[in-house]
Structures are given as structure tokens and as C-alpha cells.
Amino acid sequence: MANRSTYRKLIYSDLGFIDYKQAWDLQKEIFTQRLRGEIDDTLFLLEHPHTYTLGKVADKENLLSNDDQLKELGISVYEIDRGGDITYHGPGQIVGYPIINLSEWKEDTHEYLRGLEEVIMKTCAEYGLQTERNSKYTGVWIGKRKIAAIGIKVSRWITMHGFAFNISTDLNFFGGIVPCGIRDKDVTSLKRELGKEIDINEVKNKVRENFKIVFGYDEIIEKPKHEFEFAKVSPELKETN
């Protein structure tokens, strides 16, 4: 557990709409800086263009679309190093990448996952939605409908990757995959559950504040996107289509 005599700061940046490769490279750079103690814990919130990502234990059979379909729909596919199976990122979905040192909170990856779920659950509650955890599957659920997926990587107690929270996402894009490898469940969004459009920037603000509460930060320091340096595309990142 973190020493609460320590004043904890969280750097926050809304990266807006950003290519998956760019965000991945930025994660790696901030991870290195955090490991070296050159930067405080950092939370990025953003949206990606249409993208399918496969975690390190993903079953490729869960990618249902063929190359022609992927090209026609403009969907990129990446094999990455987070946990979990396959998921979709796209417009109308808040993707969160916390790069934080768990040694200053709790050195427990399971507690960290529950914390990420709690952030989304608290945010949904502010819109009058009752959500729950599933004992078998990570993420946030409304009955049998998944509203947020979570996939992380933790190395030397520094976190990477994070969560994908459907706000006004076009859920049809989930039809090209078996989301998270789960065949008997559905996906949903705030828009679908509430029956109306929701301002995604409003939701980002709520997610940011709930992240602060759940993970015990004393202060949020906002940093604009232009203050970050975007590295070249990582050679380790493999596009499969």
C-alpha cells in the first residue's frame, strides 16, 4: 500500500483522436520515464480509429473478418503484448491508458483490475446505470452485456494498456470478432443503455475524476497533447492485415 504521507500527483492528458501506433509508442516512452522516476503517474484518455487488437493469449480464430472485409471497412489489426483476447477500438469509445507505479498504491494486479472496473462502474452510476462484475470475466457488465473491456500489462509494477469504455460506439464493428473470446455474451454502450447521445468529453471528465478517487491521488495535473513527443512506429508492433 502507498504511504499516504506521500502527496500523490496524477498527470492527465486527453489525446483526442489518435492513431493506435502513435498511442502505443507514447505508452512505451512514458513507461520508460515512469520506471526511471522521471515522470509522475500518467493517465491518457483518447479515441482510436477502427482497430482490432489481439492480446498475447488471443485465439486468432476469434477474428472473424477476412482481409478484404478489413480493408473495405478500414480496420487495422495488431498483435500486442497486453493480457486478454481480441477487442475493438473505434470512434465513440473512451480508451484509457494508465501508466502508473503500483508500488505507490498496491502491488497487486488483481486489485488493480478491480480498481479499473470500479472507475467505470462509478462513472456509469452517475448516469443512473447499475453495473456489475462477472466472476469469470474481467470488465464491466450490465447483465450479460459488456460495456467496458479491460486488458493490461504490468512490468516491474508499472502498468500499461488499460480499458475500453463504449460511449456511442458503433457496436456493429464488434460483429467482426468474438469480443474477448466470449461467445455467449453481448456488448453495449452508454448510448444504447440510455437511449440518447452522450457527450464523450463529459464522460471523460467523470472517468478522470473517478480514477483520481479510486486510486487515491491528491492532485491532477493536466498536460496538453502537444507537450508529448510522439516517437516513430515501434518495430515490435505487428500489423496482421
pLDDT at residue number 179: 58
**What domain range includes position 178?**
11-221
* pLDDT value of position 174: 83
User: How many domains is the chain partitioned into structurally?
Assistant: 1
Task: Say if 163 falls within a structural domain.
Answer: yes
Q: What per-residue confidence (pLDDT) applies to 241?
A: 38
pLDDT number for residue 180: 62
The pLDDT assigned to 182 comes to: 56
pLDDT tens-digit readout, 100-135: 999 999 999 999 999 999 999 999 999 999 999 998
Judge contact between 174 and 217, C-beta under 8 A: no
Which residues are identified as catalytic?
180
The answer as to whether 153 is a domain residue is yes
Asked whether residue 34 is domain-assigned, the answer is: yes
pLDDT tens profile 167-201:
999 998 887 767 565 565 789 999 999 999 999 99
* Any domain includes 39: yes
4 in a structural domain: no
pLDDT of residue 62: 78
In a domain, 92, yes or no: yes
The whole-angstrom separation of Cα 105 and Cα 113 is 13
Q: Is the pTM of this model over 0.75?
A: yes
pLDDT for 183: 63
Q: 66-90: b or e for each residue (b if 16 or more CB lie within 10 Å)?
A: eeeebeeeebbbbbbebbbbbbbbb
The CATH number for 217's domain is: 3.30.930.10
228 found inside a domain: no
List of the chain residues with pLDDT < 50: 1, 3, 232-241
135 occurs within a structural domain? yes
70's grid cell: 478489413
